[in-house]
Amino acid sequence: MVQSAVRTRWAPRLPALFGRLLGRSAEAPPRAGRRSNPDAVVDCAVYVNGRREPGRPHYADAYASSRRQRRSFVWLGLHDPGPATMAAVGRVFGLDELSVEQALADGHRPTVQQHGDVTLLVLRTAGYVEHTELTDTSEVIDTGDVMVFLGDRFVVTVRHGASGALTPVRQEIENRPGILAEGPWAVAYAVCARMVELYLEVAGHLEKDLERVEETVFARDRSADIQHIYQLKRELVEFKRAVWPLQTPLRTLLEQRTGLVPPALHRWFVDVEGRLTRAVDRIASYDELLNSILQSRLAQLAVDQNNDMRKIAAWAAIAATQTAVAGVYGMNFTYMPELGWRYGYAGALLLMALAAVTLHRLFRRSGWL
């Protein structure tokens, strides 16, 4: 009975005593440490009615918060994530194994895929590499890719490569809450619009490079090297592979039967498709122009080689006359004309000189020399 009374008396006080010993109050239990995002996370935010919530929470906490609120979603941005990070993200957002594997690799072709309740939109990034002069190893276009996973309450963007940073996209779309209130597909629209804008910027820089190459090809000195033109052609082909395939996914998104794009965003995607068409047309014209420049340079090389061959043939003909005269008088027959003539040697030299001068003037007049 005494022991039971003692336990009853001291039991409520034990947490307080241990709390004093450990330097904290028992009524205020220790607060769990705040989780931090992995290094691959560029940004993470919760959006409610098109407005960003304060802070940069852990992506798991952000997703849980977005599911508790109406008209909200979370946008998680990743750059070159590792397998462990991507696997953890896949578990939180319910991405299947195939989607996680796709997100770890780069070099994908632009496409749109449906994986259950998640839509995957793949786009290629493009950036112009500044260079002082074009060489046979110059890198003109830098490409990468962006994968956009779209769910009911989340959007996860995974970017590979240095070009196509999405920070300006986030800043711009956050200043347009009316569009951002449409949910994750508003982010998909903003990413598509940014990529197409980059395509047009790169196309403008390529146009200047083509103008410089065209000037050197058709200049009098013709200093353009065909290897430089071919390198620019290769870079243009890489740019073309990044831009042209995007037409099909955009057309698929705009089809009413798919029902992927919200009606309020449909006209914005139509605008993106129109600008993409302009980019495709410009690239097609650049490709044709570069082909014409390349063919012109090849024709110039053929003409130059033909001119060289004519010059060689003309000088060979001039040398042949000297060889003929020297060969005839080198036969050493007893009875030959002018063998006994005192000025025969000088006459033979004069004959060779006159023949050379005559042939040289004839070849110059005909354009061979």
Same domain (yes/no): 336, 325: yes
Residue with tokens 């005269």: 325
Query: In this structure, is residue 123 part of a structural domain?
Result: yes
Same domain (yes/no): 177, 131: yes
Same domain (yes/no): 144, 68: yes
Dihedral angle computed from the Cα positions of residues 56, 60, 61 and 64, in that order, rounded to the nearest 10 degrees = 130
Q: Where among 274, 302, 330 does a domain terminate?
A: 302
pLDDT given for residue 265 in this prediction: 92
Query: In this structure, is residue 278 part of a structural domain?
Result: yes
| CATH, residue 279 | 3.30.460.20
- 302 forms beta bridges with none
- The strands making up 118-128's β-sheet, listed across from edge to edge, are 51-52, 41-48, 72-79, 154-160, 141-150, 118-128, 111-115
Domain that holds residue 330: 305-366
Same domain (yes/no): 127, 17: no
State the Cα–Cα distance between residues 53 and 35, nearest whole angstrom: 18
Query: In this structure, is residue 109 part of a structural domain?
Result: yes
Residue with tokens 């830098």: 142
| CATH, residue 322 | 1.20.58
Same domain (yes/no): 200, 338: no
Query: In this structure, is residue 339 part of a structural domain?
Result: yes
Same domain (yes/no): 80, 101: yes
Query: In this structure, is residue 36 part of a structural domain?
Result: no
State the Cα–Cα distance between residues 190 and 155, nearest whole angstrom: 12
Same domain (yes/no): 27, 45: no
Check if the beta carbon of residue 173 is closer than 8 Å to that of residue 187. yes
Q: Is 125 exposed, middle or buried (0-12, 13-18, 19+ CB in 10 A)?
A: buried
| Cβ-based neighbours of 162, under 8 Å, separated by 6 or more | 127, 142, 144
Work out how many domains the chain is built from and give that number.
3
In tens digits, the chain (369 residues) has pLDDT values of 334 433 444 444 444 443 443 343 333 333 334 678 888 899 999 999 999 999 889 999 999 999 998 889 999 999 999 999 999 999 999 999 998 998 998 888 999 998 888 999 999 999 998 887 777 777 888 999 999 999 999 999 999 988 778 999 999 999 999 999 999 999 999 999 999 999 999 999 998 888 888 887 776 666 567 777 888 888 888 999 999 999 999 998 888 666 788 889 999 999 999 999 999 999 999 988 888 888 777 777 776 777 778 777 778 777 777 777 777 766 666 666 666 676 776 777 787 788 888 877 887 787 776
Same domain (yes/no): 88, 64: yes
Same domain (yes/no): 322, 261: no
Same domain (yes/no): 275, 323: no
Query: In this structure, is residue 208 part of a structural domain?
Result: yes
Same domain (yes/no): 271, 156: yes
pLDDT given for residue 278 in this prediction: 95
What is the per-residue pLDDT across 129-142, written as a single tens digit (0 to 9) for each?
888 777 777 788 89
Tell me the three-class secondary structure of the chain, residue by residue: CHHHHHHHHHHHHHHHHHHHHHCCCCCCCCCCCCCCCCCCEEEEEEEECCEECCCCCCHHHHHHHHHCCCCEEEEEEEECCCHHHHHHHHHHHCCCHHHHHHHHCCCCCCEEEEECCEEEEEEEEEEECCCCCCCCCCCCEEEEEEEEEECCCEEEEEEECCCCCCHHHHHHHHCCHHHHCCCHHHHHHHHHHHHHHHHHHHHHHHHHHHHHHHHHHCCCCCCCCHHHHHHHHHHHHHHHHHHHHHHHHHHHHHCCCCCCCCHHHHHHHHHHHHHHHHHHHHHHHHHHHHHHHHHHHHHHHHHHHHHHHHHHHHHHHHHHHHHHHHHHHCCCCCCCCCCCCCCHHHHHHHHHHHHHHHHHHHHHHHCCC
Query: In this structure, is residue 15 part of a structural domain?
Result: yes
Same domain (yes/no): 223, 345: no
Of 263, 44, 259, 47, which is closest to residue 153 (Cα–Cα)?
47
251-257 contact pairs (CB < 8 A, 24+): 252/112, 253/112, 253/121
pLDDT given for residue 338 in this prediction: 62
